[in-house]
Amino acid sequence: MKKQRILSGMRPTGDLHLGNYFGALKNWVRLQEDYECFYFIADWHALTTGYEDTSAMKENSRKIVIDWLSAGLDPNKCVMFRQSDIKEHAELHLLFSMFTPVSWLLRCPTYKDQLKQLKEKNIATYGFLGYPCLQAADILMYKANAVPVGEDQIPHLELTREIARRFNFLYGEVFTEPQPLLTEAKVLPGIDGRKMSKSYQNTILLSEQLDEVKKKVGSMITDPERIKKDDPGHPDICSVYAYKKIFNLDEIEEIEASCKAGKIGCVQCKKGLAEKLALYMQPMLERREELLKTPDIVDDILRDGAAKSREVAAATMEEVRNAMKI
């Protein structure tokens, strides 16, 4: 049986962190074993909120590939490419924009939220409004069966399905409707207990050196009511404990009990986490070291990935132009 096809993308916004890894990338690595996977760098999408300063764009696209490889994506098992290398995405986006009602875009929750949140950035642009239309082009171009995304991207996927239906209704059956593949993502808070995010400066990077990881774990926010070592703790509100649920799972009940009973101090508890985290990150860091010895590897992978994805994109665009009588 032919493998189901998967497509997903990430915007190149700088170094990936453990939140990105547990939220999406770890899942991508798993999926490459069982699906035909296309993973791409959404550099045009990054422009929608970052069009003013584009100086780091090329470098960030290269960095994200290194992060992907260090985390275990394998160019022999999946296709990795850069959106801007495949001009067909722009053509399909343009064609979709002709019949996508503005009302569909305006009602997108991400549009409304971001507009409010990023007030200082002036993103009330044509391009930003069209973000989901470009995303639909990315997905439908490859006739992906499934798209691994987080909860926040569900409206975009619904819009993609609506665009596919509208195209098929207007011009004939060309597109498949993709299904969302919801990642059962583990939520890993940042070191200050809020959502891990570059803009909060509370991240642990995939490329973080281990002594820096140790320092960051040491500075993590724990239960604020624990002043003395034998005060009873509340693991449920402690960010160290949220990490322990992932990295020290084998001893989690013991940790919970001794925290609640005030039998373990936070310093010692953090030390245990730092050790496990270091063990977890070590192989990724070693792979990164290896990769950096062959600097051409990123260009090679992206060139190869572009060739493979362009082939699919060109075939889809043939069908699209035929259907639309262009």
Q: To the nearest whole angstrom, how small is the minimum distance from the Cβ of residue 247 to ligand SF4?
A: 12
Smaller CB separation from ligand SF4, 152 or 230: 230
Choose among 187, 191, 242: nearest CA to 220. 191
Cα 219–223–229 angle (5° rounding)? 85
Q: Count CB atoms within 10 A of the CB of residue 257.
A: 12
| Cα 131 to Cα 82: distance, rounded to the nearest angstrom | 17
Taking CB under 6 A as the criterion, the residue among 153, 203, 239, 248 binding ligand TRP is: 153
| Cα 96 to Cα 75: distance, rounded to the nearest angstrom | 31
Binders of ligand TRP among residues 42 to 71 (CB under 6 A) are 42, 45
Q: Which amino acid is at 312?
A: V
Q: If residue 324 lies in a helix (H) or strand (E), which one and from where to where?
A: none
Binders of ligand SF4 among residues 127 to 156 (CB under 6 A) are none
Backbone angles phi, psi at 181, to 5 degrees: -115, 95
235 binds ligand SF4 (CB under 6 A): yes
Q: To the nearest whole angstrom, how small is the minimum distance from the Cβ of residue 138 to ligand TRP?
A: 4
Binding partner selected for residue 92 from ligand SF4, ligand TRP, none, CB under the kind-specific 5 to 8 Å limit = none
Cα 298–198–81 angle (5° rounding)? 25
274 binds ligand SF4 (CB under 6 A): no
Binding partner selected for residue 138 from ligand SF4, ligand TRP, none, CB under the kind-specific 5 to 8 Å limit = ligand TRP
88 binds ligand SF4 (CB under 6 A): no
# chain residues binding ligand TRP, by CB under 6 A: 13
Taking CB under 6 A as the criterion, the residue among 16, 24, 123, 238 binding ligand SF4 is: 238
Binding partner selected for residue 233 from ligand TRP, ligand SF4, none, CB under the kind-specific 5 to 8 Å limit = ligand SF4
Binders of ligand TRP among residues 227 to 256 (CB under 6 A) are none
Q: If residue 248 lies in a helix (H) or strand (E), which one and from where to where?
A: none
Binding partner selected for residue 217 from ligand SF4, ligand TRP, none, CB under the kind-specific 5 to 8 Å limit = none
Q: Which two tokens stand for residue 295?
A: 């600097």
Q: Which two tokens stand for residue 229?
A: 């070592």
Distance of CA 221 to the CA centre of its chain: 25
Per-residue x/- mask for ligand TRP, residues 109 to 148, rule CB under 6 A? --------------------------x--xx-------x-
Smaller CB separation from ligand SF4, 25 or 266: 266
CA distances in angstroms from 107 to 49, 101, 114, 166, listed in the order given: 18, 11, 12, 17
269 binds ligand SF4 (CB under 6 A): yes
